[in-house]
Structures are given as structure tokens and as C-alpha cells.
Structure 1
Amino acid sequence: MAKGLKNSGLIGEMSAEFAGTMILILFGCGVVAQVSAAQLGDHDSIAWAWGLGVTLGVYVAARLSGAHINPAVTLALATFRGFSWKKVVPYWAAQTLGAFVAALLVRWNYTEVLAKADPGHTTKTQTVFSTLPGNGTLPVSEWGALRDQIIGTAILLFVIFAITDLLNTPPGANLGALITGLLVVAIGMAWGTDAGYAINPARDFGPRLASFITGYRHAWRDQYGDIYFWVPIVGPLVGGLVGAGMYRVLVGRFLPTEKTPEPGRAPVTGI
């Protein structure tokens, strides 16, 4: 048994990242479809379901892969905590594929509801799958959204590094996943206006691709017609490095060094 687990290696880790990210998106995109297309629930429903999706995704994947379920987390761990650079692209691929498959399931399940609410499959319901500046209605430019994504993801990684740092005071009793989920709820409630708090390239790109191949022909653009898909990819990758770096400078370097955490293996994640 031990030999089989050991030999699973990267394949097992990728499978866990796929599954954890899929669970995240099933709850996340599912709740947005229910709220925006079926008019059941409100913004708080969205924030809580995304946060719970993160928590559940972490519990699914943490033992095998560390439950990054977010390329920005994987990149930050490789940069600052010794996670293997050889695994970065495979993790990204597994996370994006998990998000893509989950979004296809949401799209299929809500076929009738989406068709009724938005027969033309326009930006009115595009936010079920991917983000838009100003959530598709407010006057926010793509550059304003980029700023927002950098800041939001910096907050995410700053706090994730704090709650998973064994040299700090991490949550006990396997509560790290719950605290991370609450962090995402808080970001959604405080930082969701300008760009829909994607704060996760896989969370946005995978579902965006799924929506494009199922009828949302303007999925790569925002409501102004500008190419937008790059914003929730570049912003979180940059912001994650900023937040993780700030944690190291402001907190991490002052902590005692008696206990060294295993590189990149503490259960961590992002939306």
C-alpha cells in the first residue's frame, strides 16, 4: 500500500488538484447561476458558497497535493516556500482542467434557466462562469480591474501564508481549510465590486473557456468589447507574489526558526 501511494507521485497530486478545484467551481459557479439566472439568493449567498467551496475543495485535496487549487498559490509556494518548480505547470493544468469540467457541468445543469434568463448568452449571465470589470454593470476599466485583482490576491496569499506557517500560530484541529474558506468569504464581501474577486486564474479561465464553447461567443471580452480574459490571470499571479512577499518581509522573517515546515505541503488554497 505504501509503495503504491509513493509511486502515484505527481499523478496523484494532479488528480487531487483536479478534484479539489472541480469541487470549488461546482459550488462557486453553481451559486452564481442560481442567483443571477434564477434569482434565488443574493450577494451574500455567492460569497458564502464560494467560501464553502474553497473549504470543501481543500478537504478533498489537502492530503495528496496540499490543496493549492489556485495557480497563484502554486506560484507563490514555488517562489517562497520551496515547492518544486517542476510541478508548477502540471498543477496549473490540473487546476484549470478541474475548473473547466466543473463549469461544463454547471452549464449543462442550468441549460434551461440560463436560456430563459439570457437567450442570447450575453454578458448578462457571463458572470456565472467568469468575471467582468464592475461585475458587468459598473464603470470599471480593465486596468482598474487589474489593480483590484492584484490587491485582492495579495490579501489572499498574505493571510494564507500566515495561517499555514507552522512557525506562526496556524489553526489547529485541522481547521486550516475552514479558516481559508472564511478568508475567501471576507474577500468576496469586501473586495468583490471592481472585478468579481476571481483571485484565481484557473477559477476564471477554465469556466470562461467552457462558456465560450457552449455559446458565450464574447467570453474573452468585457462588456465594453475590450479583450479582458488576461486580467484575472495576470492580476492574481502578480498579486499572489506581492502578498506572499509582503508576509515574508513583514512577518515571516521575524519568526523563530526552531521548527521548519515541509516545503509547500501545508494545506493551502485560493478561489
Structure 2
Amino acid sequence: MASGYISQSAHLNIVWSMGLCILGRHPWEKLPLYALSHILGAFLGAATVYLQYYDAIQVFSGGELLVAGPSATAEIFCSYPADHLSFWGGLVDQVVATAVLLIGCLALEDRRQGPLPDGLTPVLMGALVLTIELSMGSNCGCPLNPARDLGPRLFTFIAGWGEEVFKAGGDWWWIPTVAPFVGALIGTVIYELLIEAHHRNTPQEEQSPGQELETADKEEVVVDSRNNR
């Protein structure tokens, strides 16, 4: 909500940024910078949580920072698979969950679906994420965001948990890092084919966020070309 008006609906998830790039509403060249920013933000967020709960973590773990076992604390910061979860099960879990997330976010941001009252979109976005995590979080905590998982994992790696954060769960770390991109691609394509393609001729004033920027850029090019004549 705080950054929505200065970041094209708040790019708080790199896969959402990628989805907008696929739809032509965000420049691809900005995507790496957004990704690095998200990872850094998640890293600093994990560091903040660690500092705030340092005493509690030390008491619970007995001073030994572990990734697995009854006194493990690494899962406070990033996701790890449940004992029942297989490799393919984890892959499918993240692909499906992220695809649902992108479909829901695109629908909420699509003004041609019907206008929402000012300020309601962030609330519904939060409800969407909460619903997905409550219904799909039992397998691996439902990371949904590569930066949200990789940033804290890098923090735990250097903060004392060591390289086990990357080895645990059969090298689990790369699934919440890669699978959400696949899910975002699938979710974006599904929305584009089943919804977006059916109202391409909608008037400009009802366009979705990101499309206004594209339209403004085109109008600026036309004006500049006229002025140069």
C-alpha cells in the first residue's frame, strides 16, 4: 500500500514483476535490478528478525544453530520441505501456488474486470496471499517468492547455520528459487489466454496498471516526433 503509487502497484514479488514484463507492462531491463533489490530487502528483513529475537533463538536452540531436528531454527527464516514431501511434489506445489497467485493478482489489478474502491486492492492482495498460504502451506511453508526465500537463506548461511541451509532436503533451496518463476509464467499465460485476450479493445481509461505507462510513453514519442518536424 505504501509503495503502490511509486512502483506501479508495488513490485513486492519478483515473479509479479516478471509477469508484467511478459505482458509488456514493465521493461525487461529493469527486472534484474528489481530482483537484486528484493533479495537485499529480504536479507535485511531476516537480519532484523534475527536481531529482534536473538535471545529467544539462542535459548530455544541451546546456542547451536541447526537446520534440522527438534531444536532447528533455520525454518524461521526460509522454507524447508515437510518430511512427506518428495522432490516432484515440492516442484508441483510451488508451480501451482505461484500460478494461482499470479492469476489472482492480475485479476485484482485488471480494472476492466470492474473498479475497486480506493485502497481495497492491497487488502484483497493480502487476503489472497493469506488464503494461498493457509490452503497450500503445509508442504513447505508456501514461499511463493524466490527473493523472499533466497535472501533469508543467504542470511542464515552467513549468520551461523552454515552450508547446511543449501544442502538440507536434498538441495531443496533451488525449488523455491526456480519453481515460482515457472508458476508465474504459467499463471500469466493462463490469464492472458482466458481473460486478457477477451477485452483487448477496452478503452484506455479502463486499462490495468502498467498499461497507462505504456500508453503515456507512446504518446510522448508521438509528440516528440511532431515537435521535431
Judge same fold: TM > 0.5, yes or no. yes
Q: Distance in 2 between the 1:265 and 1:93 partners?
A: 26
* Equivalence for 2:21: 78
* Equivalence for 2:165: 219
- Unaligned 5+ segments in structure 1 are 1-58, 267-271
* Equivalence for 2:149: 204
Deviates more, 1:72-81 or 1:112-121: 112-121
Contact 2:42–2:147 (8 Å) recurs in 1: yes
Q: Provide the TM-score with structure 1 as the length reference.
A: 0.71
Contact 1:107–1:211 (8 Å) recurs in 2: no
Residue 180 of structure 1 pairs with residue 125 of structure 2: yes
Residue 103 of structure 1 pairs with residue 50 of structure 2: no
1:154-165 superposed matches below 5 A: 154-165=99-110
Q: Distance in 2 between the 1:170 and 1:157 partners?
A: 19
Radius of gyration: which is bigger?
Answer: 2
Report deviation, 1:262.
Answer: 4.7
- Determine which of 53, 76, 79 is the counterpart of 1:128: 76
Residue 91 of structure 1 pairs with residue 34 of structure 2: yes
Contact 2:109–2:208 (8 Å) recurs in 1: no
Contact 1:96–1:205 (8 Å) recurs in 2: yes
* Poorly superposed stretches of 4+, deviation over 6 Å: none
- Determine which of 210, 213, 226 is the counterpart of 1:263: 210
| Partner secondary structure for residue 106 of structure 2 | helix
* Equivalence for 1:228: 172
- Unaligned 5+ segments in structure 2 are 214-229
Q: Provide the TM-score with structure 2 as the length reference.
A: 0.83
Q: Distance in 1 between the 2:143 and 2:211 partners?
A: 23
Residue 252 of structure 1 pairs with residue 196 of structure 2: yes
Report deviation, 1:114.
Answer: 0.9
Report deviation, 1:264.
Answer: 6.2
Give the share of equivalent positions with the same residue, in percent: 30
Report deviation, 1:78.
Answer: 0.3
